[in-house]
A and B are shown apart, each in its own frame.
Chain A
């Protein structure tokens, strides 16, 4: 009987320890430098097909850094491999990588670099910057929603964000088939970054 009580007490104590070592992820992210975790970050895009439906695709190779501090200079830099485009159809992906669209061999990367980060209640709310894609650079504004932040089970600290924007592919010289494929591209990013 004593052994059962001891075992139960030990188990309860272990469970409580485990719970406290993983924080409830509702805190405001700590200011500082973060590196994007590619394994938990997704960049998706949606584009109209023939005006009848929306095609969803993603890019699978992303890297970047965030420096977030409401009281100091903040910076966001994200780089995406255009050849990593993935629309769940290999033949279409080959076409997208080719000269008709991304021309990945000539323009292997697209890059976003922030010029200004706007904060609200300590969290980024809007990020203004420039997107370089297909040899052209244009200003872009990301609308940002914080998802969560806190310590992870491996001793690190993470912060997550949801960001969206809309760009026109024609602005970046990707004009092929305007009648069949929409010009507006909705971009959605789910970012998880690890504090450095």
Chain B
């Protein structure tokens, strides 16, 4: 298959197509919104396969999204318990993802990075049910697109593609929020929780394995929180600013020579 199709089909075309399809379906059957994170799986399977048992960092992500979606739907009437369960799940996932580095090259920096992601997760999950974010899908799509760009240019095209697919599954929802002039959510923040899980996991993979710059990773950690937690019509703009800073930092510090 053509190299460009290999990049664009699973990273953009297929997930965006599924996003449009699901968006149209959820207008008639709102319960389907809880399954939004699962439409990331076809792209994931295209790029990674269905690894059982998981061995590499990327190979835990399908399990994370499936379990997180199950928790999200099963405990939707019990937000506190759902938040605890999601944070516990993410903690286990992050340890599984970083296990090879934890045993071979343990260090304070890695521990702090794990802690930072967990803190962000705690902030998100315990506030998701009360969030007044006007455009959560747009904010998360912008953050994921930023993660995709920074990672693809910074050290891993594959992880960048996975993040790009994450942005694409939110495409139809994000466009709806733009169409409604940033005044109406296309989906609730809590329905996006599994997507946020995968986002955090991809960010850690990008930092630990693809070695994106620490400052860029920090901006990308804050980006979705601003857009998902803050009220106001233009909270997503805050996410965009963080992403722009992260990308600019990468460009100014990284080797710009091309080798593709």
Contacts and interface: CB of A to CB of B under 8 A. Distances in A.
Given A176-B158, A177-B3, A179-B3, A105 B254 contact: no
A106 B100 contact: yes
B16 to A, nearest CB: 22
Interface stretch (B52-60, B71-79, B131-139): B52-60
Interface string B1-29: 11100100000000000000000000000
A99 B210 contact: yes
Given A89-B259, A176-B157, A99 B205 contact: yes
Interface in A86-142: 89-92, 94-95, 98-100, 103, 105-108, 135
A177 B56 contact: no
B157 A105 contact: no
A98 B159 CA distance: 10
A180 interface: yes
A11 B210 CA distance: 61
B259 A105 contact: no
Interface in B42-63: 55-58
Contact of A99 (B6, B105, B159, B257): B159
B101 A91 contact: no
Interface string B92-106: 000000001100110
Contacts, number: 62
Contact of B209 (A105, A108, A180): A105
A94 B259 CA distance: 11
A94 B211 contact: yes
A101 to B, nearest CB: 9
B35 interface: no
Contact of B259 (A92, A107, A135, A179): A92
B209 A103 contact: yes
B222 interface: no
B209 A179 contact: no
B3 A100 contact: no
A135 B156 contact: no
Interface residues of A, number: 20
Given A91-B254, A99-B156, A176-B158, A106 B6 contact: no
Interface of A is mostly: loop
Interface in A52-107: 89-92, 94-95, 98-100, 103, 105-107
Given A99-B56, A105-B100, A105-B101, A177 B6 contact: yes
Nearest to B257: A91
A72 B56 CA distance: 40
B91 interface: no
Contacts of A135: 55-56
Given A89-B259, A106-B209, A108-B104, A99 B254 contact: no
Contacts of B210: 98-99
Nearest to A106: B100
Contacts of A103: 56-57, 209
A139 B89 CA distance: 39
A179 B1 contact: yes
A100 B57 contact: no
Q: Kindly name the residue among A91, A92, A98, A176 whose own CB sees the greatest number of chain B CB atoms within 10 A.
A: A98
Contacts of B58: 99
B57 A177 contact: no
Interface string B104-131: 1100000000000000000000000000
A89 B257 CA distance: 9
B174 to A, nearest CB: 27
B38 interface: no
18 contacts: A90-B255, A91-B254, A91-B255, A94-B155, A94-B211, A95-B156, A98-B210, A99-B158, A99-B159, A100-B158, A103-B56, A105-B105, A106-B57, A106-B101, A108-B104, A135-B55, A177-B3, A178-B6
Sort A-B residue pairs by CB-CB distance and give the 5 closest, nearest first: A106-B100, A179-B3, A92-B259, A91-B255, A100-B158
